[in-house]
């Protein structure tokens, strides 16, 4: 059975969501952040050298990195391609792969910088304009890709929506979605999915 090492309040919830969407039997080991530092507990380093989450175990396999976990779960369990195009459809598969990796490959860094700046409560001569510029660039890019579509790649929900929803939700928590009505609507719709609600309940979020 799949075992997911889940750190509360963070990216891992969106991996739990994927497990629920796929209908996979799994178990959770839940970890809690340090209330003072908000960092992961030291126990996670006994699971993986980086001490971060999510980490997935499946038999002898120990896998970290959210997009890698998504790819593995799709290859093993999404045999009917409900959440991704088949690899034989190479152009659509390549575009899907781009949007699967884009949230954490490009968008997360400027949002993280913004988060750290908010915590420091002091502007920074270099990092503040960098974060403002890059966040606007990426949110506009996501908004343009979404267009009039229901989901990020069209009218069908795909696994690319897990990561994009995470990024958009993080932007909302940082107070950055005021001028992005379509992203607010996209986020509301995805968080209303039954599988997401089940993930929140299961992960004690």
- HSE-CB for 48 with a 13 A CA cutoff: 18
**What pTM does this model have?**
0.94
Residue 205 has pLDDT above 90, yes or no: no
Burial 95-112 (b: 16+ CB within 10 A, else e): ebbebbbbbbeebbebbe
Instruction: For 142-161, give one letter per residue: b (16+ CB within 10 A) or e.
Output: bbeebeeeebbbeeebbbbb
Q: Are residues 68 and 130 in the same domain?
A: no
Whether residue 63 is found in the same domain as residue 98: no
Work out how many domains the chain is built from and give that number. 2
- Provide the domain limits for residue 45: 2-83+195-202
In whole angstroms, what is the distance from residue 187 CA to residue 205 CA?
17
Q: Assess whether the previous peptide bond of 54 is cis (omega < 30° from 0).
A: yes
Question: For residues 84 and 158, is the Cβ–Cβ distance under 8 A?
Answer: yes
The Cα 97–Cα 154 span in angstroms is 15
Q: What is the CATH number of the domain that holds 170?
A: 1.20.1050.10
Q: What is the pLDDT of residues 45-87, one digit of tens each?
A: 999 999 899 999 999 999 999 999 999 999 999 999 999 999 9
**pLDDT (0 to 100) of residue 34:** 86
């Amino acid at each position: 059975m799949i075992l997911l090492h889940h750190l509360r309040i963070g990216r891992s919830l969106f991996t739990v969501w994927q497990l629920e969407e796929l209908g996979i039997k799994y178990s959770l080991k839940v970890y809690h952040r340090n209330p003072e530092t908000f960092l992961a507990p030291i126990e996670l380093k006994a699971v993986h050298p980086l001490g971060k989450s999510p980490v997935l175990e499946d038999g002898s396999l120990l896998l970290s990195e959210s997009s890698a976990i998504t790819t593995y779960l799709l290859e093993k369990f999404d045999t009917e391609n409900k959440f991704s195009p088949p690899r034989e459809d190479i152009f659509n598969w390549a575009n899907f792969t781009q949007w699967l990796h884009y949230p954490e490959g490009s968008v997360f860094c400027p949002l993280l910088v913004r988060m750290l700046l908010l915590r420091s409560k002091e502007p920074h001569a270099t990092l503040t304009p960098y974060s403002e510029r890059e966040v606007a660039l990426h949110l506009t890019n996501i908004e343009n890709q979404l267009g009039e579509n229901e989901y990020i790649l069209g009218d069908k929900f795909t696994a690319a929506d897990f990561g994009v929803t995470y990024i958009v939700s993080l932007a909302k928590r940082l107070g950055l979605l005021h001028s992005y009505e379509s992203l607010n609507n996209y986020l509301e719709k995805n968080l209303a999915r039954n599988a997401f609600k089940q993930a929140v309940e299961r992960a004690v979020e």
